[in-house]
Amino acid sequence: MARKIQFDVSEEAKTPEVVAPAPAPSRAPSLSGMAKSLQAAAAASIREIETRLIDDSAFKDRIDPDAEEILDLADSIRAQGQLIPILVSPLPSGRFRIVYGRRRLAALRHLGLPAKALVRDLDEDQAIIAQGQENTYRKDLSWIEKATFAKQLLDAGKSDELVCDALNIDQKARKAGEKLTGLSRMRQVAARFAPELIDAIGAAPKVGRDRWYEASQILEKKGFPPGNQSALTTEIAAAAARGMASDDRFTLFESLLRRPVAGKTPAPAKAPRVETALGSVAISARSATITITKKDAADLHRWISDHPDAALQALRDAQQKTEQP
C-alpha cells in the first residue's frame, strides 16, 4: 500500500509565526502515526526563513524550470504574497533542507523575500516520500521528471518499494507480487538517456511513457549510449535557446533520431532473385548467389559440390565467350 504523507494547514495558521520546531518523532514511527503528527503540528510550524539558509534537496524531482516560469511565479507572489508554504527539514548545522516547493523557493530568492515554510524533522526516507507524493498527487510532474527522480533514488541505494511509494506507482503490482513494470520502464529510459540530453529537452509535459520508451530504444539501436549523445544535446539546446517549447523540442529530438547516422553506410537493398529452370540467381552490388536444389538438378548439384573450382571456371569461360566481339 502506498505511504501518503499529507499536510493540512488551518485558517488560523495562514499568518506565519516564529516558533520552536516541534519535537522530533521517534526514530522509526509508523507512517500513519507520522502523518497524524504532521497534520496536527503543521499549523503551529509555519515560520519565515531567510532563503539563504535553505539548501536544495540532494534529489531533483524536477528538470530545472525555465527562467520565464520563475519570473511569472515571482510576479504572482509579488502581487498576492506567498499563499502556499514550502516544506523544509532542519539540519544539524542550523540550516534547512528543502523537501518540496523548489519553484516557490526560486521565485522568493529572486524577490529577496523570506520563505513561509512548514518545518518538520524528517529523516531522509520520510523526506523523499513527502517530496515525491506532494508533486505526484498534484499530477504536476511529467513522466520523464518522475523517471529521472526514480533513477536518482535508485542510484543512491533506495529500495524499489520506497521509490514506488514516493511516486505512487505499481501499487497493485506490489500487492499482487507481480513485476513492477512502471518502475522498470522508468529505469530503462533514464539509463539510456544522458542527463544533459534530458535537461536540454526539458520536462515535455505532454509527452508520455510510450514516446519516451520508443525514443530510448532507437537511441540504443542506433548506437547512442549516454556518453555519445553530445551532438543531439547541442542541437536540442540550440532550439531551446531560440525559445522552442519543451514538447516541441522532444518532437525535434524524435526527427533527429530518425535521420541517417553520419559515417554509417545504409544497409544494402535485398538482392533481386531470378528463378531459372535449374534453380535461382540472386545478384547484389557485392555478390552473386546461385542456388541449385537437388530436387531440380540432382546431378548438377552433386557435380558442383565435387568440383567447385571447375564450376567457377566454367562460369568465367562462359563470360569471356559472351563478351567476345
- Confidence class for position 19, pLDDT limits 50, 70, 90: very low
- CA-nearest of 167, 202, 205 to 183 is 167
Residue 275 host element (H or E): strand 273-275
How many angstroms separate the CA atoms of 216 and 229, rounded? 12
Q: Helix crossing, 124-137 with 143-155: angle to 10°?
A: 170
Q: Is residue 185 part of a domain?
A: yes
Q: Are residues 26 and 133 in the same domain?
A: yes
Q: What single-letter DSSP state applies at residue 101?
A: -
In-domain check, residue 323: no
For 147, the domain range is 142-260
322 occurs within a structural domain:
no
Domain count, the chain: 3
Radius of gyration of the chain (CA): 32
Q: CB neighbours of 320 closer than 8 A, spacing ≥ 6?
A: none
Domain with residue 229: its CATH number is 1.10.10
The upper half-sphere exposure of residue 256, i.e. CA atoms within 13 Å in the direction of its Cβ, equals 20
d(CA 13, CA 146): 32
For 207, the grid coordinates are 509527452
Q: Is residue 289 part of a domain?
A: yes
Q: What is the CATH number of the domain that holds 69?
A: 3.90.1530.10
* Prediction pTM value: 0.52
Helices (H) then strands (E): counts for the chain: 14, 8
Per-residue pLDDT reduced to its tens digit, 93-152: 999 998 888 889 999 999 999 999 989 888 888 888 877 766 655 546 789 988 998 998
Q: Check whether residue 183 and residue 234 sit in a common domain.
A: yes
Q: Judge if 14 and 133 occupy the same domain.
A: yes
Which of 216, 231, 260 is the C-terminal boundary of a domain? 260
Same domain, 232 and 281: no
What is the Cα–Cα distance from 291 to 280, expressed in whole angstroms? Answer: 5
In a domain, 268, yes or no: no
pLDDT at residue number 301: 77
Instruction: Report pLDDT digits (tens) over 41-86.
Output: 554 568 899 999 999 888 876 776 667 778 888 998 998 899 889 9
Whether residue 212 sits in one domain with residue 87: no
| Distance separating alpha carbons of residues 14 and 112, to the nearest angstrom | 21
The chain-wide mean pLDDT, for the chain, equals 79
* Residue 286 domain-assigned (yes or no): yes
In this structure, are 277 and 255 located in the same domain? Answer: no
Tell me, yes or no, whether 9 and 32 share the same domain. yes
Percent above pLDDT 90 for the chain: 29
Q: Of 141, 159, 193, which one is at a domain's C-terminal end?
A: 141
**Residue 143: all three cell numbers together:** 513522466
160 and 205 co-located in one domain: yes
d(CA 130, CA 125): 9
Report the sign of the C-alpha dihedral through residues 137, 142, 145, 150, in that order.
positive
Does residue 22 form part of some domain? Answer: yes
Question: Do 190 and 237 have their domain in common?
Answer: yes
Picking from 202, 119, 124, the residue whose alpha carbon sits closest to that of residue 156 is 124
Q: Are residues 6 and 115 in the same domain?
A: yes
The last residue of one of the domains, among 141, 167, 191, is 141
Range from 1-10, 41-50, 226-235, 285-294 carrying the lowest mean pLDDT:
1-10
Helix axis angle, 67-80 to 102-111, nearest 10°? 70
Nine cell digits for residue 159:
529500495
Of 53, 142, 36, the C-alpha closest to 89 is 53
Note whether residue 324 is domain-resident. Answer: no
C-alpha cell belonging to residue 309: 573450382
Where is 117: in which H helix or E strand? strand 115-119
Cα dist from 205 to 11, 160, 242, whole Å: 33, 24, 19
User: Is there a single domain that holds both residue 170 and residue 75?
Assistant: no
pLDDT in tens, 284-306: 767 778 787 656 677 877 888 88
Together in a domain, 186 and 247: yes
* Residues 6 or more apart whose Cβ sits within 8 Å of residue 228: none
Grid coordinates belonging to 181: 513494470
